[in-house]
């Protein structure tokens, strides 16, 4: 987008107080390091570790707390569920730092946010124990969102994706998958944590799109087996969730750093589920805060 272009009111909606429409935030409310979560209640879990809290706000399911942890200014924000919400959140986070909201023009000097998603997921591999932490090296999107933007995949991403489509005999009536890498910078920061690393699959829903059969008949009941058995070099598809592909794709396009870390609270192959996963989330929160505060 050319810096001289004025962005119309219909394209970037602002509230009467000048805050961005859905997040209801102003630039000063946001830190350069942002932790995003799906559940609004999880925001308070994270900010409960902060030494000080300077800002709290809420609009719909989007809750934001900004504060300080061991000298590091951090914002934590809930997105709700799904890639459609991620589309809103990442575009508006970028607007807060890279658009002059009064002039409605893109700033000449761009800022890169560090965005870390802490979530829950279902493990697809039988050797991933419950409560394990999965670091998504890649986000594999089954949702179709990034096809609305001009995303160019690099050579390795294209090779992995083409092999995946061939291996799974991907059904033609489903959205074409896409693959996006995580931030190398953020992955290096968490390298010593010993998390499971691989591909995270992002679905457009919780039930049928992830192969769950309750009452409705699945159109492709064999698809999860093909997804689970996919291999490319040392890469496997480790887990299912509903946000990472859009987070990685939009962040990459806008020049931000993004990484997803998920607790495996369900094993799809072993048919197990951990209802007491909240303590595991708290452990992950503390590990992540300590890692980013040391940068």
CATH number at residue 70: 3.40.50.1580
Q: Domain of 80? A: 27-293
Q: Tell me the pLDDT tens digit for each residue of 1-17.
A: 455 799 999 999 999 99
Q: Tell me the pLDDT tens digit for each residue of 160-183.
A: 999 999 999 999 999 999 999 999
Any domain includes 18: no
Q: How far apart are CA 135 and CA 153, in angstroms?
A: 20
What's the burial of 8, exposed, middle or buried (CB within 10 Å: 0-12/13-18/19+)? exposed
Q: Which three-class secondary structure state does DSSP give residue 133?
A: strand
CB 113 within 8 A of CB 34: yes
Q: Are strands 257-267 and 114-123 parallel, antiparallel or unpaired?
A: parallel
Residue 23, pLDDT score: 98
Residue 194, pLDDT score: 87
Q: Tell me the pLDDT tens digit for each residue of 205-226.
A: 999 999 999 999 999 999 999 9
Any domain includes 131: yes
Where residue 225 falls (left for φ over 0; alpha for ψ -120 to 50; beta otherwise) is alpha
Any domain includes 140: yes
The band of 275, judged by pLDDT with boundaries at 50, 70 and 90, is confident
Any domain includes 15: no
Q: Percent of the chain, pLDDT > 90?
A: 93
User: For the CA atoms of 277, 57, 116, 70, what is the dihedral angle to 10 degrees?
Assistant: -90
Residue corresponding to tokens 């969102």: 145
Any domain includes 3: no
Q: How far apart are CA 97 and CA 245, in angstroms?
A: 22
The band of 277, judged by pLDDT with boundaries at 50, 70 and 90, is confident
Structure tokens at 32: 């350069």
Residue 2, pLDDT score: 56
Query: What is the average pLDDT score of the chain?
Result: 96
Q: How far apart are CA 211 and CA 203, in angstroms?
A: 10
* Closest to 204 measured CA to CA, from 143, 121, 122, 250: 143
Any domain includes 21: no
Residue 1, pLDDT score: 47
Q: Tell me the pLDDT tens digit for each residue of 85-123.
A: 999 999 999 999 999 999 999 999 999 999 999 999 999
Q: Which three-class secondary structure state does DSSP give residue 223?
A: helix
Any domain includes 4: no
Q: Which three-class secondary structure state does DSSP give residue 176?
A: coil
* Closest to 288 measured CA to CA, from 41, 117, 51: 117
pTM of the model: 0.96
Any domain includes 108: yes
Q: How far apart are CA 78 and CA 39, in angstroms?
A: 6
The band of 159, judged by pLDDT with boundaries at 50, 70 and 90, is very high
Q: What domain count does the chain have?
A: 1
């Amino acid at each position: 987008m050319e810096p001289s272009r004025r962005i119309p009111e219909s394209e970037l909606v602002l509230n009467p107080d000048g805050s961005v429409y859905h997040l209801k935030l102003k630039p000063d409310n946001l830190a350069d390091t942002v932790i995003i979560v799906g559940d609004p209640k999880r925001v308070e879990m994270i900010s409960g570790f902060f030494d000080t809290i300077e800002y709290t706000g809420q609009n719909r399911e989007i809750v934001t707390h900004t504060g300080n942890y061991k000298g590091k200014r951090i914002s934590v924000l809930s997105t709700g569920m799904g890639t459609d919400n991620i589309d809103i959140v990442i575009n508006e986070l970028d607007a807060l730092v890279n658009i002059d909201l009064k002039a409605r023009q893109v700033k000449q000097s761009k800022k890169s946010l560090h965005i870390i998603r802490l979530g829950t997921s279902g493990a697809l591999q039988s050797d991933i124990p419950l409560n394990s932490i999965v670091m998504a090296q890649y986000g594999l999107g089954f949702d179709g969102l990034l096809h609305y933007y001009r995303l160019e995949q690099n050579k390795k991403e294209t090779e992995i994706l083409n092999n995946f489509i061939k291996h799974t005999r991907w059904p033609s009536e489903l959205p074409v998958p896409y693959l996006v890498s995580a931030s190398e910078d953020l992955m290096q920061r968490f390298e010593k944590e010993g998390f499971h690393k691989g591909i995270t699959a992002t679905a457009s829903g919780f039930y049928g799109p992830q192969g769950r059969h309750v009452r409705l008949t699945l159109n492709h009941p064999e698809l999860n087996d093909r997804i689970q058995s996919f291999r490319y070099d040392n890469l496997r598809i480790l887990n299912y969730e509903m946000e990472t592909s859009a987070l990685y794709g939009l962040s990459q396009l806008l020049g931000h750093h993004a990484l997803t870390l998920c607790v495996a609270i369900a094993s799809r192959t072993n048919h197990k589920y951990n209802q007491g996963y909240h303590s595991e989330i708290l452990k992950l929160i503390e590990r992540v805060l300590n890692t980013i505060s040391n940068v």
